[in-house]
Structure formats: C-alpha cells, structure tokens
Amino acid sequence: MIPDRDAALASVLHNLVTDVLTGLDAGSEDEVDPTALASMRRSVEWVLRQLPPDQLLFGTPDGNPNPAVLPTVVGLLVDIIWWLDSCDDDEVDPDTAVKFAENCAAELHALPAGQRGRLVEVLARLADTEPHPGKQHQLRFFPHAMGFIKDEPDTGDVPDLDDGDTPEWVRPEDRTAAR
C-alpha cells in the first residue's frame, strides 16, 4: 500500500480511537469509572508521545508519511478493545463495553476492502514482533473479534489463560518497562 493510503488509514483509526475515548467520557459514572478512563487516556497519550513530535498524522519533516504511525494507531485500537474486554465491571459496565466494541467493528467493516486488508496485514506483522504474550494474543485475535476472519486463530500461549478467556490488559508503558 502506498504511504498516502497508510496515512489515510492511520487517520481513520486515530479518529476511531479518539471517538471511543470521547464516547466513554460522555458516559455516566455508573457506566464508566472516570479514574479507569483517565488511566486509559494516559496510556494512549504515552504511546503517542513515543512517536517523533508532530508526526502523528502530518508525516516527517521532508513531507513523507511516518511509517511508525499506522502500526502505532493499530496497536492503540487493539489496546482499547483489549481494555474494554478485560476491565472490571466497576470500571466499564459490560453492556457499555460491548456497545463500544461493536461500534468499532461496524466502523472497521465500513472501511474499503483495501484498508481492511491493510489493517489485517499490519496486525499480523505487529503480532509477529510483539514480545508481550497478552498483547500478541490480542493482535492475533483482533481480526476474528472484529469479524474479518471466521476461524479463531492460534493466538499463542498466554500463561494462566483458559481457552476463550481474555488476558488481563497491561498498560503499554508497563509492557515496555517489563522488557
């Protein structure tokens, strides 16, 4: 895929991440614990700060798209869905979490076929290089969870995880610190 198309997909996915966080912010305290959401926002901001300054959507100083942006934003989207899937009921109401995950799936299905294919490619590449077993599991499972592939993939071994369970979400900054 040409870099401009990657930048366009990154922009769409970044907007989806932002929309989920904004939507969760608008929920009542019975639906979403503000402290839990603030922690997730800090993690998203931490990940974005790992990109060179001013390169989230605008590209490098020479005008080319930053090749790190699309994988970064894909990783953030997976993190948000992972967090929604594994957070405690007192952090995000289960019905609210499902609603947001289903809305994400609907938005992703609305992408043109080429962008959906590119998303699946990036997920596979990220999974192949991800050292954290929980995140690797989520990267491999995401296309199935979003309905892009029918058969459940082999998601690797996650310690203390029973079949069908979601590994507990680990903040990106903690995953990096553990390496």
Q: What is the mean pLDDT of the chain?
A: 86
Distance of alpha carbon 169 from alpha carbon 83, whole angstroms: 5
Residue range 7-48, pLDDT digits in tens = 889 989 999 999 999 999 998 999 999 999 999 999 999 998
Residue range 157-175, pLDDT digits in tens = 655 555 556 789 999 999 8
Residue range 47-62, pLDDT digits in tens = 988 877 666 655 556 6
Spans of all domains in the chain? 3-126
pTM of the model as a whole: 0.88
What pLDDT score does 54 carry? Answer: 62
